[in-house]
Amino acid sequence: MYKDRLIKGRRVIWTGKIWFASVSNDGAIEPVLVFPAPFSTLRVPRSVFFFMFDNVSKFLIEQFPEDFATWLIGKPIALSELSPSELSLEPIRADALILLQSDDLVLHCEFQTAPDPTMPFRMADYRLRVYRRFPNKRMVQVVIYLRETESNLVQQTTFELDTLRHEFQVMRLWEQPIEPFLQFPGLLPYAALAQTTDRVSVLQKVAQAIENIGDRTDQSNLAAATGIIAGLVLNQEIIRRVLRRELMQESVIYQELKEEARQEVRQEVRQEVRQEVRQEVRQEVQQEVRQEAKQSEVNLILRQLTRRLNQAIPPGSTAQIQSLSFTQLEALGEALLDFTTLIDLEAWLATNPGEWSGDS
C-alpha cells in the first residue's frame, strides 16, 4: 500500500517504487516531478531516491556519451552500451552500474548519492569480470559522488586483499570546478552540484545554456534531468522558478515518470476499489447470514409455540415474532415454556414490541 503525507496542502503519495504521484487540491490525480529536498519528512527509503538519480545518470550518459567520454577519459571517443549480462553468467548488481565500450576501452561509471562501504570490492569485481570477457581492452573506472559528505568512504580509491591491489578513480562533484560542466550539454545537469558558493546562480546559467540548445528534445530532456539532480542541493521552489516547467514536461524522463506514476496510481485505485467492493459484499453477506440465522430462530420458535399451545399461530402474531430482535427471540424462547394459551403469547408480544407495526 502507498504511504502519503500532507505537504503544503497537497497529498503526496509514494507509490512504492521510484516515482511519486500527487493528488491535487481539487481531487484530480496529477503525476509530478518530485525533488528530494521538500520531501525529507516522508521518511521513505533512501534507496528510492538513489535509484532515481542512477536512472537519470544512465539516461544522460547514454544520450551524450561523447560528452562524458571527454570529461572522464579526456577525449570524445564514440562509446556504445555494454550490457552487464555480457560479463558473466552469474548475477551482477546492475542498478547503479553504467558500462560503455569502444573498440579498445571499457568505461565503467557509478553515480552515488551516498557513501558505499562495498564500493572498492565492487570496482575490483567489475574489473575482473571485464578482463575475463575483454582481456585486451583498457578499462577506466570512475565513482562519481553527487552529494557532499564528510564520510571517509568517498576518499577510497583502492581495494586491497592480501597481495591483490586494485585502483579506481573517484570524483567528488562538490570539489570539481564548474566550467567543464557548462561546456558540454550532457554535463549541464550536474553543474549545480559542483564547487560553488552560489548554486542558484549556477542553475540560472544552466537554464540559459539549455535555452540556447537548438534541439527541442535535448532541451526538454536536459531540463528535466537538471531539475531532478539539482534537487539534491536546491529546494523545489527555486528549481521551478529557474527551469521552465513546460519544457521539462516534454522530456522523455518526465513522460516516463508520468506513465509510471499513472500506472502506479491506477493500480492503487484498483486495489482501493477492490477493497471497497469486498467490504460492500462482506456487509451484504453478513446481512444475509444474519437474516438466515434469524429466520431459523423464528422458525424454531414458531414450531415450539405450535406444540406448546397445540394450535396454529395466527398470521398477525407470526409477523410480530418475525419482527423481533435476536435478543427478544431468545427471551421469547424462554418465556413460551410458561405459556398455556394464545392469550399468553399475545400479552408477551404486547409488552415486547418489535419493528412490526401491524395489528394482531
DSSP line for 94-138 = -SSEEEEE-SSEEEEEEEESS--TTHHHHHHHHHHHHHHH-TTSE
- Which domain does 160 fall in, by range? 3-266
**What pLDDT score was predicted for residue 96?**
57
In this prediction, residue 244 has a pLDDT band, given cuts at 50, 70 and 90, of: confident
Q: Looking at the domain assignment, is residue 349 inside a domain?
A: no
Q: Looking at the domain assignment, is residue 213 inside a domain?
A: yes
Q: Looking at the domain assignment, is residue 296 inside a domain?
A: no
Mean pLDDT of 75-80: 86
Mean pLDDT of the chain: 81
Least trusted range by pLDDT, from 16-25, 269-278, 337-346: 16-25
Mean pLDDT of 281-297: 91
Mean pLDDT of 125-152: 93
**What pLDDT score was predicted for residue 253?**
67
Q: Is the pLDDT of residue 98 over 50?
A: yes
Which range of 9-13, 18-22, 235-239, 340-344 scores highest in mean pLDDT? It is 340-344
Other CB atoms within 10 A of residue 190 CB: 26
Q: Looking at the domain assignment, is residue 333 inside a domain?
A: no
Which range of 16-30, 181-195, 235-249, 250-264 scores highest in mean pLDDT? It is 181-195
Q: Looking at the domain assignment, is residue 306 inside a domain?
A: no
Please tell me the total count of domains within the chain: 1
Mean pLDDT of 295-306: 93
Q: Is the pLDDT of residue 203 over 90?
A: yes
| Residue (of 339, 296, 337, 299) closest to 318 by Cα position | 299
Report in angstroms the alpha-carbon separations of 55 from 87, 91, 119, 264: 21, 19, 18, 18
Mean pLDDT of 240-248: 80
Percentage of the chain exceeding pLDDT 90: 50
Percentage of the chain exceeding pLDDT 70: 78
Q: Is the pLDDT of residue 228 over 90?
A: no
Mean pLDDT of 49-64: 76
Mean pLDDT of 253-273: 78
Q: Is the pLDDT of residue 53 over 50?
A: yes
Residue with cell 556519451: 65
Q: Looking at the domain assignment, is residue 99 inside a domain?
A: yes
pTM: 0.61
Name the region of 195 (left: φ>0; alpha: ψ -120 to 50; beta: rest).
beta
Mean pLDDT of 72-81: 87
Using CA atoms, how far apart are residues 182 and 187, in angstroms rounded to an integer?
A: 7
Q: Please report, in angstroms and rounded to a whole number, the separation of the first and last CA atoms in the chain.
A: 55
In this prediction, residue 192 has a pLDDT band, given cuts at 50, 70 and 90, of: very high
In this prediction, residue 234 has a pLDDT band, given cuts at 50, 70 and 90, of: confident
